[in-house]
Amino acid sequence: MGGLKNIFKRSKSLSSSTVAPELNDILGFKIGTPLYYELAFLHKSEHRTNAEGHPQNYERLEFLGDAVLSMIIANFLYHEVPSGNEGYLTEMRSKIVSRAHLNELGKELKLKQFLNLEDPDNQFGENVHGNLFEALVGAIYLDKGYQICEEFIFRRVIKPHVNISKLESKILSYKGLLVEWCQKNRIRFEFVSEHDSGKEVVRHFTAKLFLNGKLVAKARDTSKKKAEEKSARRAYYSLQKEINS
């Protein structure tokens, strides 16, 4: 898609840049300071620096956006679920701002197409979608302040995706749930993971899950963590009756 050159039609000075409709349509408001959004889509692989020699990429905005998003969701849950205790609210917030959910949001908004890259064929992991979403939240906060940022989160995250009753039954980590069940029932568990020498360009891992020495599930993915989580999910569905009894 050509990155930001399709989003920011530059003149000689940044302050007079014209923001193309695509980004304004996603945001739902007119951008005030284009610089924040340029940074929000600038990957560290570009090795850009400012006049002081400081690295320029989306990671600092990602850090800020993570904190702002967490605050907005916490505030929403505090008022939406007055009966929820600290543990409940923390768990619910974790489900809303989970890496998997943020990746889905980034994909939904097609943020990756805005990445500023010299090499359009550069490959990144799945988390780049969520990273860009957090960086965008950080840019909105700096550009427009808390209220506009909150309105954006309500419009793009809470209203279309947050259902309290469904969230309560959502499993955040199948591995965590399975480990907790095994420990509670004194079941010996072991994850055995190894590099999978397949023919793909991207490196893969295979994870096998053993319960009391018996293989109950195995899975394959692009990281050890993902493979173990996938094998735990498969084990959960095969043992669902026993786990939920």
The set of residues, in sequence order, having a beta carbon less than 8 Å from that of 208 and lying 6+ positions away, is: 191, 192, 193, 215, 217, 218, 231
The one catalytic residue in 38, 62, 66, 143 is 66
Residue with tokens 């010996």: 188
Active-site residue (options: 62, 134, 150, 229): 134
Task: Establish whether 134 is a catalytic residue.
Answer: yes
Q: Which two tokens stand for residue 80?
A: 């939406």
CA dihedral of residues 1, 96, 71, 155 (deg, nearest 10): 60
143 has catalytic annotation: no
Rounded CA separation 40/132 (Å): 7
CB 20 within 8 A of CB 8: yes
The rounded radius of gyration (Å) of the Cα atoms in the chain is: 21
Catalytic residue positions? Answer: 66, 134
